[in-house]
Structure 1
Amino acid sequence: MRGLFADTTPLRNAHFRRLWTANMVTVVGAQLTVVAVPAQIYAETGSSAYVGLTGLFGLVPLVVFGLWGGALADVMDRRTLLIITTVGLIGTSAGFWVQAALGAGNVWLLLGLFAVQQAFFAVNQPTRSAILPKLLNDSELPAANSLNMTVLQAGAIAGPLVGGALIPVVGFSWLYLVDTITLFATLGAVVRLPKLPVEGASGTPGLRAVIDGLSYLRGHPVLMMSFVVDLIAMVFGMPRALFPEIAHLDFGGPSEGGLAFALLFAAIPLGAVLGGVFSGWVSRVERQGLAVIYSIVVWGLAIVGFGLAVSFADTTARTAMLALAVLMLVIAGAADMASAAFRMSMLQASASDAVRGRLQGVFIVVVAGGPRIADVAHGGAAAVVGTAAAAAGGGVLVVVLVIVAAFAVPGFIRYRLRPAPAGD
């Protein structure tokens, strides 16, 4: 049974334990803000178009500062950078609280604060990921990444549920205040880290450094493949843009949401959480590249199953097909958790410390950008062939393309975890 549940070995490290425990507190507060910002924008404007601008105001800083922040994390002491960005996140959350408490009612102020917050986040996350190999052995990285992602996905479920229920009761300002206060837990954990200078740091964190980081990938096809296969999985196999229409037309839910809508959106994060809880096996996997391929194939097949469940919803009991569709998405979420844990670990263990920040910045851009490209692709495909065919066809493409990519770079399949140093 101990081998079945999540491997908690990384928690023996005091620094990782403090960061992880603090993240359990702050992730709920962060998700409250994720819910509150679009809800407040809609409440003040009554326009979905303004709400849609959060995608633009969020994606651009994530891309720009994800890449630049990664370069910055390869030059300066990473503990110092984490302190600066955590203070910045606290400041932007406090800004959200102040504008809501004062009833400012300015949508551009909200969007501006959101963009600044995403910029700090885009620098903070690559830096947090880049420090793990300095705190843990390579063999502990898959378990550590699984633990981190389990907490994040649990917050993605709990935060919206709690936030949605509390907004009508306490208003927006209290949600922002909770986010602000909980971030101090992370600041306390970061301050207690040792100094984390970069080994082999050189140059300045400008455009040249970003280009050098991307050039590093060209000479390391295994690391490049970790990004390629994730883009394949997300661009062709993430049908979330279809959930509102599927919930309404195929499963008979109301146009403004409802139970089917909520279940479809919660299913993938739920699968990721369950995958994290029962992730004890990831620490025993040596052929991590092959494990990534298997995980993405399972993701693709699960999305095919989801599309088939949707296609039969009109001819079979809708409730049964909804349950099957949700089950397929849960399986997909568990497979995605495993894939992400292995890919992150490969990046952290295989890359030189001097470029880890930049590669984690690219990771953030891929993770943020892939699903947004998928939204456009699936929306366009569904308009031509329908939602069920778009989802199932995307899943088929994931399976085919990831197998082709694996054979194109056989070194990715052969990649093995390096053994831990003697005595560790």
Structure 2
Amino acid sequence: MEFVIKISQFLLSLSLLIILHEMGHFIPAKAFKTRVEKFYLFFDIKFSLFKKKIGETVYGIGWLPLGGYVKISGMIDESMDTEQMSQEPQPWEFRSKPAWQRLIIMLGGVTVNFLLAIVIYIGMSYYYGDKFLPNDNISDGYVIESTVANKAGLKTGDKIIAVDGERIENFAEVPEKVLFGKDITILRNGEQSTITLPQDFLAQLIDAKEKGFIDLRMPFIIAQVPDTSANAQSGIRKGDVIVGFNDTDTKYIDQVVSSLDSYKGQQVTAHILRDHEKLNVPLKISDDGKLGLVYATRATPETLEELGYYEYDVKKYGFLESIPVGFSKTKERLVSYVKQVKAIFTPSTGAYKGVGGFKAIYDIFPTVWSWQYFWGITAFLSIMLGFLNLLPIPALDGGHVMFLLYEMVSGRKPGDKFLEYAQMVGFVILIALVLFANGNDLFKAIFD
């Protein structure tokens, strides 16, 4: 069932993005009386799942969900229709239109991508508002489980107050800013200091294949006590919060784990919170410092607030207030993604090792249906699609735009043969990038 939910969200988001991107080309093409021969969701190599001709355009659904396309008459595109290009230009063809019209047609797709992200963020801001944890509301620092981060100088209990001189306002910003930062200003035991991360810090994290990095320090909340547990008859139950052993306070999971290690093979008195009441229960600690099949669960923001661990801020917006917020969020996500792409194309960072393909995109969708997560992910993917399509690579929208700008500035149109060869080179580059990204996915699936 989890697979069905994830794949449904993935395909719905992908389909929405493809259709709207291609509509961004289709609408101005039709407005400028340019013939559109095909409008396809997914690729129809050899055959289509569905197709119907309406007017001069065939609308269809292909079987290969790697993208979609519109085939515009008189344009050198992925169809590589050289036969059409060898004939005399017709007034309804793309190549017969003024350069400024062709430019608008080519920029239509990415324009829709960015506008879609803005609209989604406006809607989400208005409907959901923003719930966030101010960094100033964290008093005991974070849990930092990564051995790579520990080696670099960070440790549990540190509070990161700035990265590269930029103060951290929202805890959610911390992991990403650290990943792409250099000088980390921390507060440790009331003392402020700066740690300079190694240039290949991101590469080290990827190579280490560690799941934990920087996270909130969480309470130890019991999720399950199976009948086979050594502590099944102790009286401890689901929902209890362990806050101490004997004379030791253990507010956070990392403190519980540390205390368990010092009580190996012993029976202790555990102090727990249950319905805001403090109770004592006897617990057996195994010889390897475990609670004997007693599992903890991750607390929700609501639970953390109820227990008094953290105080979240909620910001609500009126419709007009949400409009600049939507623009601002789109800009922030775009700047963030550009930083990621820059790191990927900087070999010394090793960020290229973390590049993923369709499996990586599929994995970011949750296993439960959440419209809030769905729209948030779709907005980010729309920004990502828009930016990548603007890259000046032949076969991408950005490649066509590059040649059109050259034509508009120089007054000389590149020859059809040149454009054909450029398109072929672009395809080779794109195929190589797709194979690399999805090859990374496959490698991780096999060896991680």
What range describes the TM-score normalised by the shorter chain of this pair? Answer: under 0.3
Normalising by structure 1, what TM-score? 0.22
Which structure features the higher share of helix residues? Answer: 1
TM, length-normalised to structure 2: 0.21
The one of the two structures with greater contact order (alpha-carbon pairs below 8 A, sep at least 6) is 1
Larger fraction in strand = 2
Look at both structures and tell me which one has the larger radius of gyration over its CA atoms.
Answer: 2
